[in-house]
Copies of this chain bind each other. A is one copy, B any other.
Amino acid sequence: MSFQFLNPKGDARFKDRHTTKVDETRLVYEEGMEADIGVIGLPSSKSSISLSLAAEAPKTIRAALRSFSTYSGEKNHDFADVRWLDFGDVEVHPTDLKQTLQRLNQSVSEMLDTNSCNRYIMLGGDHGVSFPSISAFHKKYGRIGVIQWDAHHDLRNLEDGGRTNGTPFRSLIESGVLLGKDLVQVGIRDYSNAKAYSDYAKEKGVKVYSMGDVDLLGANSIVSDEVKRLSEHVDMIYLSVDMDAVDQAFAPGCPAVGPGGLTSRELLGSVAQAAAHPKVKAMDIVEVDPSKDVRDITSRLAAHVMMRFMYEGSR
């Protein structure tokens, strides 16, 4: 028995024969598969300081990929042949948050140990996922450089609340996974941080670019200079994109929204700059809370960040 207009396994949406949607290039990972890009969901946000539903973002960001296609006019190239492996989402624990961090770390490691992909995208979750994620990359790859787009330092002390979404880079530095000088922060905003953590950044040699610096130097040139600098002494570069680096008008779906941030063009342009460098092997996108969004525009922006990463590096 065959159906003409029904496909119980598939999807009934309209198909244009010449267009490949980004989600159509997704392969559900099975042992032995290889691809340029691997994607994993890290749906954890219970350790956020404020209540956050960022754990729901891996679903909405993947869904946003249905709306966009694989063709870049700027590069005049169709990336329909760039397949990406989807490793699914890590099953987090409802009440044991340490367990959850451990599971995130182990799962990213297991993914890396498949040796199946050249580059990886981690979809948060809140920024707390960067600690277990970057730790896993460190174990596999060695010395890591990090470019962090963020309004905030995320260098809070660990005493006041344990490992939260405010502490990942403190945790990484203190646990020896990351050297301060190998961390670059772009988009740090006034009246959104504390002096102690700015001082800590300086003390550790973290390279900090505020919105004032972005106004002066431009996001693109900051990022391309720093990628070049880092690439000379690290084994790989990891991009960590906290979407609240973007102005609240462009990314209303972040828990900690505020005015005076990056535009969507500044974010997309600077991520593309970084992604083009061969040492850039990984990126996480964090702090998208779909329950706070308007028309999923923050998830859509996150999807474009993914596409810039996926396709800039594969030219």
Contacts and interface: CB of A to CB of B under 8 A. Distances in A.
Interface in A46-80: 46-53, 55-56, 67-74, 76-78
Contacts of A257: 295, 297, 300
13 contacts: A3-B111, A4-B106, A16-B161, A18-B156, A18-B194, A18-B197, A53-B53, A67-B258, A93-B162, A190-B307, A215-B265, A247-B264, A259-B304
Interface string A138-170: 000000000000000000110111111010000
B16 A156 contact: yes
Contacts of A260: 264-265, 268, 304
User: Which 6 residue pairs are nearest across A and B when measured between Cβ atoms?
Assistant: A18-B196, A95-B162, A12-B89, A94-B161, A259-B264, A19-B194
B191 A12 contact: no
A174 interface: no
Given A3-B107, A6-B87, A208-B73, A295 B248 contact: yes
Interface residues of A, number: 117
A114 interface: yes
A91 interface: yes
A150 B173 CA distance: 46
A307 B249 CA distance: 19
Contacts of A16: 156-157, 160-161, 166, 194
Contacts of A259: 250, 264-265, 268, 297, 300-301, 304
A271 to B, nearest CB: 11
B12 A198 contact: no
Nearest to A86: B8
B78 A18 contact: no
Looking at A6, A50, A91, the one whose CB has the most chain B CB atoms below 10 A away is A6
Contact of A8 (B19, B30, B103, B192): B30
A41 interface: yes
A315 interface: no
B258 A6 contact: no
A56 B30 CA distance: 31
A78 B110 contact: no
Interface in A74-131: 74, 76-78, 85-97, 103, 106-107, 110-111, 113-114
